[in-house]
Structure 1
Amino acid sequence: MTPPGRTKTEQAYFALRRAIVVGDLAEDAPLDDAMLLTRYGYGRTPIREALKRLADEQFITYPPHRTPYVRGIKLRDLSRLYEARHLLEEPVARLAARRVTSAQLDRLDWICDRIDEEIAEGHPYEAVEYDHEFHLEIAKSTDNRFLAESVNKLNCGSLRIWYLAHSRLGMETVNEGHRAVKAALVERDADKAASLVSQHIDTSYARQMELQKLDTSTYKPTPITPP
């Protein structure tokens, strides 16, 4: 999904972002400059600038004076991750129901159409990226950039596990929740929008639990309590 006309740094960013989400750069893998230069062909400066942005967006961890590495999510972290989504995205949906504009509602419709197209084409990565864009657009609809930045960072850190679920469990029904939330925003029903977002998050969490049952090597099997 790299848009045309991007700078070398932006091209490097999108290439590395995709590689992380689809697992070409594995969880906890060290991101050595020499390896990235050889594999992706961008210069040292674009690679390093891309890594800084990826660290800011929670895709990687970049310790001071050490090699950055791909940020992973263990099973023991999932309940806290989804707890954070509930605490952040439900109030965001309430506020969006009161502030969303007609243009933003049209944008949400457009994103849902793109998700359906990518699902029909069997493109889980592209579908996941549009999924992320849908949640971000709702946050932008609050007219509060701090909320939008928070939702963006939280869900950027989730894209890899969303991709795993979409690619292994199927994507046929994932867009139904999006369209239901959008309809609640059209109705300006804050309670309904928040409730539907909560259900959507719970469904995503349940898919992660199902994925763990299929492949216990994906996560460390530590018992957790659902949020």
Structure 2
Amino acid sequence: MHPQVNPPSLAEQAYLFVRDRLVMLDIPPGSPINEEELGTALGMGRTPIREALKRLESERLVVAYPRRGTFATDVNISDLAHISEVRRTLEPMATAAAAARATDADRATLTELRAQLDADVAGGDNAELLRTDLALHRAIYRCVHNPFLEDTLIRYDNLATRIWCVFVPRLSGMAGHVHEHVPLLTAIIEGDGEKAAALTHAHVTGFEAAIRALI
């Protein structure tokens, strides 16, 4: 028997909904967060919305000001070096761990994602490619089987993706950046941690270089 998985709480549902809208800049940086509108859209009261916003504030995606309200945080290019430093340190270690720890089910999931990637890269615009990139990273992080590390990786990848979104209208080669996941997925599927770590370091470094080239 499979263990019973409890459905996400209302606060968790609100968090996931608002988080991804903030990450993809569907809620623009600096814009106010309207709790009533979110509650209406999600069909829930303000309490779970407020719980979600507190969590998002701890992740630097929103900021609350007394007597003014809650706003989407700005995207500051000055944060790029700090975010990249964390990712260069943690992500190679994480993908090496994923190569060692991934279950048969994990490897099957990554194999399916790898097969889908060519079609996604060939047919998607930059915004869709960013969503593909985000989904791939999160799938890889789950294979680490360390919830604390997974949460940290997602948090910094979210912040990095917001920077991508700001610059995406001026970016070329986005498809190539996303397609770099093919050999990385292969290394994890095959259990080659050393190769996975090296490819990840190059991927994160390439992201930072591509953004800096546009500054």
**Same fold, judged at TM 0.5 (above):** yes
Task: Name the Cα RMSD after superposition.
Answer: 3.2
1:23 deviates by 3.2
In structure 2, distance between residues paired with 1:68 and 1:26 = 13
Pick closer, same or farther for the CA change 1:48–1:142 going to 2, 3 Å. same
Residue 155 of structure 1: aligned partner: 157
Q: Is 1:197 aligned with 2:206?
A: no
Q: Is 1:142 aligned with 2:150?
A: no
In structure 1, distance between residues paired with 2:34 and 2:95 = 40
Residue 3 of structure 2: aligned partner: none
1:211 deviates by 3.4
What is the total number of aligned residue pairs between the two structures? 207
Residue 188 of structure 1: aligned partner: 191
1:78 deviates by 0.7
The C-alpha deviation readout for 1:120-174, integer Å capped at 9, x for no partner, is 3434444323322322332222221111111111112222222344454243212
Pick closer, same or farther for the CA change 1:65–1:189 going to 2, 3 Å. farther
For structure 1, the residue ranges without an aligned partner over 5 or more in a row are 213-227
SS at match of 1:172: helix
Q: In 1, are the aligned partners of 2:80 and 2:160 still within 8 Å (CA)?
A: no
Residue 176 of structure 1: aligned partner: 179
SS at match of 2:32: coil
Pick closer, same or farther for the CA change 1:166–1:111 going to 2, 3 Å. farther
The C-alpha deviation readout for 1:154-213, integer Å capped at 9, x for no partner, is 11222222234445424321233211111222332222111110000011112211333x
Q: In 1, are the aligned partners of 2:23 and 2:158 still within 8 Å (CA)?
A: no
Q: In 2, are the aligned partners of 1:96 and 1:139 still within 8 Å (CA)?
A: yes
Pick closer, same or farther for the CA change 1:21–1:148 going to 2, 3 Å. closer
For structure 2, the residue ranges without an aligned partner over 5 or more in a row are 1-6
Residue 223 of structure 1: aligned partner: none
Residue 88 of structure 2: aligned partner: 86
1:6 deviates by 8.8
Q: Is 1:131 aligned with 2:133?
A: yes
Amino acid at match of 2:204: I
Residue 122 of structure 1: aligned partner: 124
Residue 104 of structure 1: aligned partner: 106
